[in-house]
Structure formats: C-alpha cells, structure tokens
A and B are shown apart, each in its own frame.
Chain A
Amino acid sequence: MKKSLLALAILAGSTALTGTAYAADKTLVYCSEGSPDGFDASLYDSGTTLDASANTMFDGLVNFKIGTTEVVGGVAESWSMSDDGLELTFNLRSGVKFHTTDYFTPTRELNADDVIFSFTRQMDQENAYYKHNNGQWLYFGYMDMANLIKEIKRVDDMTVTFVLDHPEAPIVANLAMAFAGIQSAEYAAQVEASGNLDDMNQKPVGTGPFKFVNYQKDAVIRYATNEDYWNGKPAIDNLIYSITPDASVRFQKMKAGECHVMPYPAPSELDMIKATDGITLMQSEGLNVGYLAYNTEKENFKDVKVRKALNHAINKEAIKEVVFSGYASIAKNPIPPTMWSYDDSTVDDEYDVDKAKALLAEAGLGDGFKTNIWAMPVQRPYNPDAKKMAELIQADWAKIGVDAEIVTFEWGEYLKRSKEGEHDTVLLGWTGDNGDPDNFMRVLLGCVAAEQGGNRARWCNDEFEAEMQAALLTTDAAARTESYKKAQGIFKAEAPWATIAHSIVFMPVSDKVTGYVVDPLGGHWFSNVDMN
C-alpha cells in the first residue's frame, strides 16, 4: 500500500503527497455499477469486470475501434488469412511496452512469447494458470476456441500464426474480444515463481492505456495513465471507478458532481437526466435483443400457428412504454438493426387480438390453454424488468384466453432449468460479443444450441441451419449477408420467439467530459476522453 501510494504520487505528479489528491490533474470519475470479479478478463464474462480490466488495461492482437464493431490493429500491426482459411498470421507491433508498476518492471517489450502465453494458458490443461483457475476460461469456452485453434506457431519474435481446425469467418473479430487480451509472459513467470498465482488476477499488468493503482472491494478502483501507451498517452491523468450499484444513486452522484460518467441509468429517470444542467445524455442503439422463446418441444408450441397467435397477442408498444419507459426499439428480427445483414423488410407480427384469436382457433385451441412465462430475476440492458414484462404479457394473453402463470427462479437455476427445457415460454436476451450475426443467430437458434440448451426455443430448422453453416464457412461479406437475410425470413415465418425489443444504451456524461463515445457492444472506454 505504501509503495503504491508512492508510485501514484510519482506517476500522477506528486499530488497525493501535497495533500489534496488529484486536485491539479485531470481526474475522471466513472460511477461503475458493481465490483469487478477480478482483473484477468479471460476468466470472467460480466461487462462490469471487463470494463474494469480488459477495457482499461489490456489490448488484444486486434481491437474494436471504440464506438464501432470494426476491427482495427491492436498489438498486432497487421494480419492475413491463408486462402484455405486455416492459417491466420499476425505481425506484432514493435515498441509495445507492458506497464511498469510497483509490483512489476518489464525488462523487454511485447513479443510473440506473450501472445502465445496469453492463449496457451487458456487451452493447455497442464499450464500452471489453467490449473490454478480450474480451467474457468469462460469466453474461451463460449467461443469454442479450444476446438477451433489447433496450434499457435511462433514464426519469429514478432510474428505468430494461428493454425485453425476449420475455417470460421468471425475468428478475427473473436480475437478482439476481452478474453483475448495480451498478458505479459515475463510477469506471469515472475508471479509463478513467487507462488501466489492469484496476483495475475489481482495485480494486473497489461499494455493498455491505463495501469492499475489500487482496488478497494465494493468501493473504488484507481488507475493511472500509461505514459508509454503505444497508441498515444490518454488525455486524462487519473481514472477512478467509483463503485455505485444503485442506478438512482449513480444519478444523484452525477448531479452532485461526484462522478463524470455513469452507465445504466434507470429508464424511469431518463427524462429527469435529460433535463439536468451540466449533464448530456448520450445514446446509441444497443447491440442486443430481448426475446420470449417458445419451447417448441412442448405440445402446445409445436404448432407454428399457436406461436404466431401468441406473437400477435403481445402488445409490444405497451412493453416499450412501461418496461423501457419508451426508450427502446421494438424488435422484429433476432438481430439488432445496427448489425450488418439486418433485414429491414421483415414484417413484424402486429398487435391484433382478433387475428390472434383466429389463429388460435385454427390451431384447435380456441378455448385457450394454460401455460407459463418464465421471468428472469436479474436486470439486463435488453430487459430491465422482466417481472413487469411478464406481467404485461400475462395480461395480454389473458385476452385471448391463454392463462399464463409467472415463474421465476434464482438466476443460476433459471438458466439451468431453461436450458433443460422445463419452461413453456421463457424471457431472455442476448448482447453481442463481437458484432457478428453468427454470434446471435447460430448461438441462439442453431441446431447445436438446441441440443446443448443455449437455444431456449429448442428449435432446430434444417433450412435455417443450412444458412448458418454456409455463412460460417465463407469470408465473403456479400454471400454471408445473403445467407443471414434468408435466415431472418425463415425465423420470422417459423416464429420460435416473440422478438420483444432492442434497448437503447444511454450514457449520462458530464459536460466537463469531451470525446466520450458510446460503445454498441456495451463496453465503457476512456482512452480517448478528455476533460475541460
């Protein structure tokens, strides 16, 4: 502690020692929504953790350009794919320095060893870090990287080649995700020698725009600017995450000037925030979708007419008004409108009670039936209040004679049981990871997912699946777009889901802050932000 205080004082221009810490510097305070689980982003998947780790302190081989889903160079300057789509080669940037902190002083710049270490620790079961963390590399698992990457070859000091098992179009975008952040092999060796392998997760060392200073659980995380950042030193001097779980409280703090940027404002307070002097409410379309999945294995939902009927019975306008306070766009496709290949010509199942009744009668269920709606116990951007949403749908369905009971479980139980198909209908959603439609449609509606449970509709449609596979194996953007558009048509006709809404991501930002960009992938980034 003493040491880190000293380090901060030196780094930040000797302010801590003069008494009023931070007074002279540009210090940005971000009121974050929760405590990070740790600082090794590869181990975790919550946005809160990734914001505090990958997004501030680490770079990938490639990065997403902030505010877009466009892939740009990270610690790799350039990359190329072999013609058969099986070898992906990265040329590393020279002069990339790892952070110098009070617990680590790098003796060399980033090279191929660091890249190889960052991935082998997640795939080699004999690796000390793999063992130490019980192999809990969540995203590496989600993206099925272990089956995709056959080998990582060190070509020379500054060149690495990923040898793939099969061609997969979104691989480069996958490597821009948080789990693929580059760790220092040198630091890892030092930590391993010290015996306390947890330090990798508690005292992070990266190449990113900010470096770690201090963390007090449930209270505050402090970062200092990385003076040597390869992409240019950030304009602010200090970055502070003030951990504030309650949305109303975050807004109160912003109003009081205690923080400059906050995520996830309460929908009910948006009007008030807009009207507040000194705060700008930034917004962008979220890369997400909230849906209600019909369990197509259950008797009543096998018939597409029943699913269509229920779709027509749901008043989505009311949901938008009540659950999102009007701040959302109604969903008609399984992917959000900002994603490439979105089919705007899709016609949504409009709210029409008579039509719903007629369809239900055609299906032989004119007298209605009993069913259930599962409502998530947690808040998500795509569904800020699932219980209210369920109550609205329950009331809507009652009008066509469908008597639905609202069911909820603890979150883990909810996910597990819905994965096993115990539900009739279930509310859930998805936020994009890498900006690729594959990351929505195949993982949520594909046949493998139907088997494994990620596809909560348990819907496996041959035509749809054929389009998914076709799009996966080619890198030709036009051909992929074509496939995904066709798939959206099939989806709408078959109605395995009631698509509910795409939320809008709101960021209240203080007028003192310039250059903040809202990230459609839901991350929060401060390297390009300045203050006046």
Chain B
Amino acid sequence: MRYTLSKVGLLLLTLWAAVTLNFLLPRLMPGSPADAAIAKLAQNGPVSPSTRAAIEAQLGVPTGSAWDQYLQYLNNVVHFDFGVSYTFFPQSVASLVATALPWTLVLVGFVTIVAFIFGTLLGVLAAWKRGSWLDTLPTVGGTFASAFPYFWTALLLLFFLGYVAGWFPTSGAYSSSATPDFSVAFLLDALYHSILPATTILITSLGGWILGMRSTMINTLGDDYVTFAEANGLHPRTVAIRYAARNAILPNLTSFGLALGGVVGGSLLVERVFNYPGVGYLLYTAVVNQDFPLMQALFLIITISVLLANFIVDILYGILDPRTRR
C-alpha cells in the first residue's frame, strides 16, 4: 500500500512537471509564436484585432502576470480546453486529439506488448543456447535491426510490399470508402491497413527486448540458486524457465517503461510515412502548418500517455516483486 501511494505521489509530481514544462516551452523560445502565427494568417488577408487577441490569448502573449497566465493555463488543461486549431479551424484541439489518439494507442500498445513477449522469449532462448545459432542470429540481427531508423524500415516495407508487390494498402488506416464504426468488415479493413505500420514497429523494437532479456538472463544463469537447481538434477529446461527466466523478466520489465518513449517517438515517424491518422501524423501536420495550440496539446497528451504507461508498469512491478513493497 505504501509502495502504491508513493508511486501515485510520484506520478502526480511528474504529471505536474510535464504540464509545467509544456507551459514554459513556448515562453522560453526566442521570438513569439503568436507573431509567427499572425504573420502566417496575414498572408491570407488582414488580421482583425479580435482574431489577434484570440491568438495572443491562446499562445500566452502576456496579459496579466506570468503567475495568472499559469493558473489560467492549469485551469484549461484540467478542463481539456486546448483552444482551437488553426489548421482545422473551427475544430477544437481537444476533439482532434480525441479522434487521433485511439489509432495510436491501439497500434503502439498492441505492437509493444507483442514485441515484449516475442523479444523476451527469443532472449531466453538466446541466453539458454548461448553460443549456438539460436543465440547468434537473434543477437546480431537484433543489434542490426534496432539501428534501423523507424522511418526507413517503414519506407522500405511501403515500397516493396505496398507499391511493388501491391499486397498491402499504401496509405491511411482504413479504406477511403469505409466509415469508422465497430462492424466486423470495418475492423478487418483497419487490421489490414495496420499490418505494415505494425510490422515496422515490431522489426525495429524487437532487438532491444532480445538483447535486454539475454543479458539479464545470462546474469541469473550464473546465480547460486541456478547452480543449486542444476546440482539437484532438474531438467535443463525446468532450470532455464522456472528458475532463471522467471527471475530475469523483472529487471527487463523496468526497461519497458523507458523503452516505450522511444517506441512512441518512432511510431510518430511511422505514421508520417503511412499517413496513418494517429497522434504522430497529427503532430506532423501541426508542425508543418505551425499550428502551435495543436502541437502543444499533442506533446502534452503523448507525454501523459507515456507517464501513465510507466506508472502501470511500476504498479505491476510492485505486484510481481514483493521486495519492492517493503
């Protein structure tokens, strides 16, 4: 209980820090984002004083003290009020984020869990059969594949399997003729469109799990209780799985949270390549169009998602390892 409470406290503190960083970022930058945004709007025609005031209010051009602005900003964040997008005017930023978020959550969440399971299994195998081809192939392949830039893997798969072979759709998350609902036909269509992006993330993130699990597993294989189990004449497979692997998974789980940030970052690039309508593609659109309110909100949402995932892993760790609860 104390463990959970301290983790909740840490989560709240980290959330506050992330929200504050999001408040400070545009204010620390040279020049004024509001000026840049107004200059962009002015290309289409004269900017009325009321529009100007609205933009300045959104981007935090000083009206009142910094402290008042900060309180106002915190109030807006708590109410999910992130203002109006420039690019998709008059849609609110909150509704745009709400449409994009499920695509990324399902894609990244599902692939990460699959990669974690497969990577851990391959890592166990590599450590157990150390020195054989079962070790060399995943280790060398994993090292090489984790050095692939996400967007490059995506471009290659898109080119060879999408354009040349024509096996998979080349863009979007569902056919342009389909309307999003929960019918079987639509879900199958969405699944079909997600295969290439999912494979890209899987290929690039699998190596890290293999290497991480392999090295912790090799450490546990050297521990005394493993030697003791071997001396007792237990079957090598029992020793490897019930004794060594079970204890090696925990340290690997801690790196799960930290690796997640990298996977999320990579998936942003993957979404750009496949025009996948998730958070990453929206962020790209926001950046290209200098849509600062949308960009700030997306950064905040992405950060909060990663923080929450880390929190879940921490709580899970506490349940799996009784020592942490003391």
A binds B: no
B residues with CB within 8 A of A: none
